[in-house]
Structure 1
Amino acid sequence: MQLNSIKPAAGAKHAKRRVGRGIGSGLGKTAGRGHKGQKSRAGGYHKVGFEGGQMPLQRRLPKRGFKSQSLKFNAEVRLGDLQRLESAEIDLLTLKQAGLVGELVRNAKVIAAGELSRKVVLKGVSATAGAKKAIEAAGGSVAE
């Protein structure tokens, strides 16, 4: 085989459709655009969702729902989750490594849910008033 003798497989290539080249082509006269109207003319254009002046669907439907993007970056951690961790000093990196918060999380807050019976020291992680009380009662501290 030579480079100059390589050809595409039979039927892989076909001629481009030539519109507006006479009645015999099957696409003569109107060139497949039909008769009259905006879309039959050169430069005929309407924006996406345009319904000919009728109120478009996206404006007829009511607006509802919203999902805050801040949910991605803020996380809650329960006291019961802290009980299961091995380390005594807990910061955001420790929580990420344990899989308690997502990788994108920037702020974590401990909430008073579950039991805590061992001493833990929170660093760079905030806590609710109830959680702070429970941590201090177990001999730990919260340093934000």
Structure 2
Amino acid sequence: MTQIIPLISSGTRGPLGVLHLPRLWQKVSLDIAGKLHSEYPAIGNGFDQMVLEGLGIDNESFLKFMASKPTYPQLEAWILSEKGGSLDSAAVEELNNGILGYNHDDETRKGILSAAGIEDDGSILDAVSLNNLEDWQDFHAEVIKG
């Protein structure tokens, strides 16, 4: 069976304006279908957990809903229904700022940049950009070079 590397960036937001939520939806959807690449967790401890906690959604409820294999708009509609019809815009802004402001540790940054063939000159520090580079490198290595 084909394993898919998720390529939706953590820097992508859906209509609700929540960064990383589209990626989380894609990863869990792929996992439920048995197609998520084995090196990617369906719900990891980083941005995935930040989003669920920031939205006040527990993992078990989220996974139970995701088992219904919703479209992305259906996921956002479910989140709104769970939150009484609206999201706290200040909480979403705080969550998004946390995602955009998160930097990997030096070792992780150096490893990702080295694997991508990019010199670590200190210009790429944020985890969103580094994670994108890692995904693209993994995609290239597995799909293009095979």
TM-score normalised by structure 2 residue count: 0.19
Greater percentage in helix:
2
* Structure with the bigger percentage of strand: 1
Q: Which has the larger radius of gyration?
A: 1
Q: Which has the higher contact order (CA 8 A, sep 6+)?
A: 2
